Amino acid sequence: MGSAKGYLRDHGPMVAMLSTQIGKEMGLSKAERSELFFASVLADMGMVGLAEDAWENPVSELPPDVRARVALHPERSEERVKQIPHLEVMAPLVRHHHAWWDGSGYPDGLAGSEIPIGAQILRISDTVAALRQQRPHRPPLSSEEIIEVIEQSVGTEFGSEVANTYLALLRGGDVPGYELSSFRHTLLRVAQHVLPDEVSPLSSDQLLGIVSNLIDAKDPCTGGHSRRVAVLAVAVAEQLGLDDRMKSTLWAGGCLHDLGKLAVPLRVLAKKGKLTEEEFTYIRAHPTDGAEILENIPTLRHLTTVARYHHERWDGSGYPEGLSGGRIPMVAQITAVCDSYDAMTSRRAYRDARVHPAAMAEVARCSGAQFGPKVSEAFLALPEETFEASRAIKPERTERYSRNEPFFQKPSHRGSGRLSRSG
């Protein structure tokens, strides 16, 4: 949600800051406020791959079919939160953040005091953050207008205790505007009350599974794509005799190479016909968008090379920078051929899947033009069992490349920042 180009970019962080403030006023402990903070940020993650049209093509009132899909997102968010180590405890807050005081909310129709207090706070914060933001069909509401909406919703959407706490803050001028630096500071502070001093190394693999599932969920035709690319990339690295560090980077980079697709509108990814120049601009931007996200995460910054350059071509006709030949980093060359093969052998909205022999023939034909000759040769030499293993990977599975060192690292280099629709 936060990577989307549009009005929801900062929605989760805004909700988190407001929720924490209301929770403090209501006497929640530091641990409870910290859980509420994380729940607020993650509450809408189930919307990815479910109802992008609800915010990419906004209207004043959602059609029934879109509304029905939106109503599923608390349960999907809950499922994903349960996969995140140390954050499982906040799953009930995420599940019930659309519960209404009068029982008319979803997904379980909880009412009154049945609704966890954290979920009640999250509900009003979510509503207020939306009212304070610009929407395509309306300007942001003033404080006076928000007060009127909240007062009219007491007893239906909100309980009086939560509503009165927020209204007292607003009338007292104690609700500051959203600021990114303040959010990041609060994030680090509340993490101390949620996370243990040392996080298990297994978390790195679980994180890859969670994020790659989110990436693949964005496009209904690409379930499992990220992890299939990762499996093939590691196999090519082994064929080339590369070391474990390179394999580790290729595994993690394969899982996250399409991270920037979270910023591509679903109407573009799922379009059956030819893309317009404007639509193709979104596709061409996703390697850079993904690299920029990774650059903001110090321990993942070394993966920017994979994300940024996996659509460069050996002949220099790729993007975003038009690199050619040996100027294209090896990890990106390997990811590129694996990405293209899996794209060819997967069904897409605009074409059917190719069979394995046809895809292999295409890789051979494009060697020295789209793909590096050395990497193409290694890919074409992979045993059939490798391709069978990759084809067995389906959405929501969390296969991983086992190794002694985690993929998190403090790299000494920095990626600099291009792709085709095939990936």
- Domain coordinates in residue numbering, the chain: 11-191, 202-391
Same fold, 11-191 and 202-391: yes
Give residue-wise pLDDT tens across range 301-357: 999 999 999 999 999 999 999 999 999 999 999 999 999 999 999 887 667 889 999
CATH 3.30.450.90 for domain 202-391, yes or no, is: no
pTM of this structure: 0.75
Give residue-wise pLDDT tens across range 190-224: 988 888 777 655 456 777 877 887 787 776 666 78
Average pLDDT, the chain: 86
Average pLDDT over residues 395-423: 38
pLDDT of residue 405: 40
The region of weakest confidence among 125-139, 141-155, 200-214 is 200-214
135 DSSP β-pair partners = 138
Distance set, CA 366 to CA 54, 85, 228, 341, 361 (Å): 40, 43, 21, 11, 9
The region of weakest confidence among 2-11, 48-57, 63-72 is 2-11
> Considering only the top CATH level, what class is 11-191?
mainly alpha
* Residue 258 burial class via C-beta count within 10 angstroms: exposed 0-12, middle 13-18, buried 19 and up: buried
179 vs 421, more confident: 179
